[in-house]
Amino acid sequence: MAYSKTKVNEFRIFLHKNSLRLYELINGEIVEIDNSPLSGILIISIATEIKQYLRLNPIGYVGAFVHHYIQSESYNVRMPALSFRQITSDEIVKAGFVPTMPDLAIEIKSPSDTYTLMRDKAKYYLENGTRLVWLVYPEKKFIEVYRKDADIDFMTVDDTLSGYDVLPEFELAVSDIFP
């Protein structure tokens, strides 16, 4: 569905009127997130592991479908499937959009997403402050790992994901993610 170029405040109003569906704002275009049952399974698998890690290492919060934006930018509000944000104070955004990109953004490819779209999302996150991005490809059972100023890592079911400096000492076998 195509719309005229939309700004962040107009997007807030749109979301209020369309609260039963998932949308993000990409370069001024309102884009509906195509979520599948398999995506939901993968989100729970990954979020559960991160949450268990955070119980022992309370350094931040993991959330599903949380809107993030950059205050200086008027045409983007991103909503990764999962996001982790380190908390340096007791401040948690309780309503609206988080006014910063997450430290870790996890996107899960839906059947309608292209590889180019997925990689463009990773690039956007890294250019705007995200330190680690995991792109999850359910049909191929692999994950691309992006870090600023580092090569892309391609992880298969024989590999183990690392949290690097974002989730220190966190590890997750890729095979544990996919059913």
Count of residues in the chain: 179
How is the chain split into domains, by residue range? 35-176
Q: Which regions of 27-152 does DSSP assign to beta strands (E)?
A: 29-32, 60-64, 82-86, 104-108, 132-137, 142-147
In contact, 73 and 84? CB cutoff 8 Å: no
Q: How confident is the model at residue 127 (pLDDT cuts 50, 70, 90)?
A: very high
pLDDT tens-digit profile of 36-57? 888 889 999 999 999 999 999 9
CATH tag for 35-176 (out of 3.50.50.60, 3.90.1570.10, 1.10.3720.10, 3.40.640.10): 3.90.1570.10
pLDDT tens-digit profile of 61-72? 999 999 898 988
Distances (CA, A) of 126 to 20, 66, 98: 29, 17, 16
Q: How confident is the model at residue 129 (pLDDT cuts 50, 70, 90)?
A: very high
pLDDT tens-digit profile of 87-115? 865 577 667 788 889 999 999 998 888 99
Please give the Cα distance from 24 to 79 (Å, whole number).
6
The pTM score is 0.87
pLDDT at 131: 97
The owner of tokens 């995991």 is: 134
